[in-house]
Amino acid sequence: MVADATLVDRLRHRFGDHIVSAELETIDPWVEVAPEGLVDICRYLRDEPGLQYDMLNCISGVDYLHTDPKKAAQAAWQPHLVVVYHLSSTITRQRLVLKVTTSRWRQDVAGELPEVPSVSGVWRGADWHEREVYDLMGVRFTGHPDLRRILCPEDWIGHPLRKDYQPPEYYHGIRDH
C-alpha cells in the first residue's frame, strides 16, 4: 500500500536517473534517490495531487561501517551513510520511505562532513530533524537555515551515532565515566 511499482514508475518517468533504486518487497518498501534530485522529488511528492505527502515524520541517519576489520572484510557493502526520510500524508493516509546514500566523509576526507540537500524548505518540520541528524550522525544539510547542534552542546566534538565515534575522555574538565 505504500510505495508500489506505479509510483516508482511515475517518479522514474519524471526524475529519471535521480531515482537510484527501489526496494518494494520488504516490510517497509523504500525508494532510493540521488542527493541532487532530493529537494525536487520531495516537493513533487508533497504537491502532486494523489500523492500529497504533506508530513515529514522522521529523518534518520544510519551509519554503515564495521569497526571490526574482520567483519568489514565480510560485509557486502562499502562503508557509507544513509539518510532515511519517512513521509506520510494526512490526506491520502499513504506512507513512503525515501533514502539517500552518501559517503561517510565528503570526498573521503576524514572530518569533512558529507553533504545532502536540506528539505527544510519543503517541510518546516525537517529543520529540527536535520539538525539532529547533523548533530548525531554528522551529515551537513546544504541550504539549511540554521544548522546547529541540537541535542549535544554546541562545542561538542564528534558525532555520537557514528559507529567509529569515540567519546571524549574529558568535557570541560569533567571526566567521562
Q: What are phi and psi of 140, to 5 degrees?
A: -90, 120
Considering only residues 151, 157, 164, 168, which one is a binding residue for another protein as defined by CB under 8 A? 151
Q: Interface with another protein includes 152 (CB under 8 A)?
A: yes
Number of residues that bind another protein (CB under 8 A): 33
Angstrom CA distances, 137 to 22, 102, 105, 129, 156, stand at: 24, 12, 11, 11, 13
d(CA 17, CA 124): 27
Distance in Å, CB of 144 to another protein, minimum: 14
When the beta carbons of 8 and 150 are compared against another protein, the nearer one is 150
Strand (E) or helix (H) holding 136: helix 126-137
Considering only residues 70, 73, 74, 93, which one is a binding residue for another protein as defined by CB under 8 A? 93
Cell of 4: 508500489
Give CA 13 to chain center in angstroms.
23
Contact (Cβ atoms closer than 8 angstroms) between residue 88 and residue 96: yes
Q: Which residues pair with 100 in a beta bridge?
A: 33, 83
Q: Interface with another protein includes 20 (CB under 8 A)?
A: no
Considering only residues 55, 79, 103, 115, which one is a binding residue for another protein as defined by CB under 8 A? 55
Residue 130 in 3-state DSSP?
helix
Considering only residues 90, 109, 155, 172, which one is a binding residue for another protein as defined by CB under 8 A? 90
Considering only residues 8, 80, 161, 171, which one is a binding residue for another protein as defined by CB under 8 A? 161
Q: Interface with another protein includes 9 (CB under 8 A)?
A: no
d(CA 14, CA 38): 13
Q: Interface with another protein includes 124 (CB under 8 A)?
A: yes
Distance in Å, CB of 27 to another protein, minimum: 5
**Which residues of this chain interact with another protein, rule CB under 8 A?**
26-28, 54-58, 60, 62-63, 84, 86, 88, 90, 93, 95, 97, 123-125, 127-129, 132, 136, 149-153, 160-161
